[in-house]
Amino acid sequence: MQAVEIRKGIYWVGAIDWSMRSFHGYQTGRGTTYNAYLIIDEKITLIDTVKATFAPELLARIKSVIDPAKIDYIISSHVEPDHSGAIPFMLEHAPQAQVITSLPNGEKGLKGHYGDLPLQGVKAGSSLSIGKRTLQFVPTPMLHWPDSMVTYCPEEKILFSNDAFGEHLASSSRFDDDVDFGTLMFECQKYYANILMLYGRQAQTALKALSGLDIDMIATGHGVIWRKHIQEIMARYEKWAAGEVEERAVVVFDSMWHSTESMARAVAEGFAQKGISVSFYDIKENHLSDIVTDILTAKYLAVGSPTINNQMMPTIAGFLCYLKGLAPKGKKAFAFGSYGWGGQSIGLVEEELKACGCEIILDKIRLANVPGAEDLQAITAKIKAL
Ligand code: FEO
């Protein structure tokens, strides 16, 4: 295991998790990386660690550059264990190191996870001289934990951004211009949608705080390092954080005997006839984390469920629970579904869409039993007329 020099005297020493397919429920089809950075200066500094199971990989990469016992500081940008999990292990190999963390939440979180550690808390605006270089600490609370912070090195114009601007993408390449741009941006949108969508306001605050910095490299906590497309990823974050939407529709449904599915097709046809592009998700065949990635930038959302045991389908209930937690912005929505008797599900879906913060733009569409051709044409006409 070798370190990768990303700037003279600054090394990527992280780990590549090729096989990871679920990040607490977020489906990560392309794996991920846990990025850590070693700065060789008068004070040897490690920025973040890796998930505990990858600690030997981190150590091996560090050892390819220096003796780990020489590390003076370990910066903990974020307590979540994918970044802090190897801190106790590293302290065994770097017994003189002080762990730098945000006050008060980083200190509280690290103590809560690992007990007593040699901690040194830093506040907003604090900086640390490590020799030729300075590290400035910028808190980014709730991006996406209370303790989160980023570190800026003005002499190198590098922002060590931890979770911000990252993506779950395992790759043998370390830089943004070495991977496919479309794939990269998809994974960034997926990351933002699933991890940060709820925190748009905090993301806007952080972007404002970072706007004054001269940045020519963003060394993230996951995925690739930005050196070419910095403006593009910043612009996407501005758009996502502001809740900007596109003239696109997302149709999500479950179905038992294809009746709600045929209604979903009629809804999609209505949007298509209106000239609005549609994404179509049978929830049995698609993962929540992919669906919300699409919803992030879509203006319209149609959700369908038949009625089962007086409720909506549990799959749709789970989807709406997940979406509610992410608090999507700027969605125009409606509910639809077929039923045999009762038909409570459609009203329940509508109520949940309201609870998600969606504006209901069409009264719920309910059809008993099997929709006929005229019923479906009427649905298409209704959507087209929106
Ligand atoms: Fe990558 Fe919030 O941890």
Residue by residue, pLDDT tens for the chain (386 residues) are: 999 999 999 999 999 999 999 998 899 999 999 999 999 999 999 999 999 999 999 999 999 999 999 999 999 999 999 999 999 999 999 999 999 999 999 999 999 999 999 999 999 889 999 999 999 999 999 999 999 999 999 999 999 999 999 999 999 999 999 999 999 999 999 999 999 999 999 999 999 999 999 999 999 999 999 999 999 999 999 999 999 999 999 999 999 999 999 999 999 999 999 999 999 999 999 999 999 999 999 999 999 999 999 999 999 999 999 999 999 999 999 999 999 999 999 999 999 999 999 999 999 999 999 999 999 999 999 999 99
Tell me, yes or no, whether 111 and 208 share the same domain: yes
CATH of residue 220: 3.60.15.10
For 271-333, give the DSSP string: HHHTT-EEEEEETTTS-HHHHHHHHTTEEEEEEE---BTTB--HHHHHHHHHHHHH--SS-EE
Nearest to 35 by CA among 17, 2, 57, 13: 13
Query: What are the pocket residues of ligand 1 if the criterion is a CB atom closer than 6 Å to any ligand atom?
Result: 78, 80, 82-83, 144, 163, 221-222
In the block, residue with structure tokens 């149609």: 302
Number of domains in the chain: 2
247 as an active site residue: the answer is no
pTM of the model: 0.97
Tell me, yes or no, whether 228 and 262 share the same domain: no
Of 199, 222, 242, the one marking the end of a domain is 242
Of 207, 242, 277, the one marking the end of a domain is 242
Tell me, yes or no, whether 333 and 184 share the same domain: no
- The whole-number pLDDT of residue 304 equals 98
Tell me, yes or no, whether 259 and 155 share the same domain: no
Nearest to 332 by CA among 376, 302, 375: 302
Q: Distance, CA 378 to ligand 1 centroid (Å)?
A: 47
Tell me, yes or no, whether 234 and 332 share the same domain: no
Tell me, yes or no, whether 150 and 207 share the same domain: yes
78 as an active site residue: the answer is yes
Cα pseudo-dihedral 270, 274, 275, 279, rounded to 10: -30
Supply the residue whose CA is at minimum distance from atom 1 of ligand 1: 163
Residue 264: how many other CB atoms lie within 10 Å = 26
| Amino acid (one-letter) located at 208 | K
Q: Distance, CA 83 to ligand 1 centroid (Å)?
A: 7
Tell me, yes or no, whether 235 and 269 share the same domain: no
Tell me, yes or no, whether 164 and 306 share the same domain: no
Of 198, 221, 242, the one marking the end of a domain is 242
CATH of residue 267: 3.40.50.360
Tell me, yes or no, whether 15 and 34 share the same domain: yes
Tell me, yes or no, whether 185 and 119 share the same domain: yes
Atom of ligand 1 nearest to the CA of 145: 2
- The whole-number pLDDT of residue 124 equals 85
Tell me, yes or no, whether 165 and 23 share the same domain: yes
Tell me, yes or no, whether 172 and 253 share the same domain: no
- The whole-number pLDDT of residue 193 equals 98
Q: Distance, CA 77 to ligand 1 centroid (Å)?
A: 10
Range of the domain at 280: 249-384
- The whole-number pLDDT of residue 206 equals 92
- The whole-number pLDDT of residue 259 equals 98
Catalytic-role residue among 41, 48, 57, 82: 82
